[in-house]
Amino acid sequence: MKWLLIAAGGALGAVSRYAVSVFITERAGTGFPWATLAVNLAGCLVIGILFELAEVAIIPLEFRVLFITGFLGAFTTFSTFGWETAALLRDSEWLYAGLYIAGSVVLGIAMVFGGIMLSKGILFLIRRPG
């Protein structure tokens, strides 16, 4: 059953990634990999939220497998990040490459912590007496 959940989540994640990428690229252009940056940051935020909720057992195992392993595994694109960074460096776009690396790594980690803090706030509101 886990394999089917991962496959279903992966299919949804891949299609979602493509849709978000097309949407952003049509608006922002191709000079900078905005779409991949946005997908990776969104994925980092969501995984922070979901992992924090999973830690306190609010999220059932099946949901974790479907969304964390399946959906987010296909939605986030760090392999694309590596390829696009290499392309920027190949094209001597040093500033863009540096901004892309720093933005992806530093902001990605910040978004995970942001997701954790959002989850803690949600949990506080849910558990607040009366």
Q: What is the pTM of this model?
A: 0.76
Domain holding 23, by residue range, is 2-127
pLDDT in tens, 2-19: 999 999 999 999 999 999
Q: Per-residue pLDDT for 129 more than 80?
A: no
pLDDT at 59: 79
Q: Please say if the pLDDT value at position 37 is more than 80.
A: yes
Q: Averaged over 27-53, what is the pLDDT?
A: 90
pLDDT for the residue numbered 84: 93
Q: What's the pLDDT tens digit per position in 51-99?
A: 888 878 787 888 888 988 899 999 987 888 998 999 999 999 999 999 9
Distance of CA 25 to the CA centre of its chain: 17
116 phi/psi in degrees, rounded to 5? -60, -45
Mean pLDDT of 37-58: 87
Rounded mean pLDDT of 36-41? 93
State the Cα–Cα distance between residues 35 and 20, nearest whole angstrom: 7
Contact 64, 130 (CB under 8 A): no
Q: What is the pLDDT of residue 130?
A: 66
Strand, helix or coil for residue 112: helix
For residue 128, the model assigns a pLDDT of 81
For the chain, the domain total comes to: 1
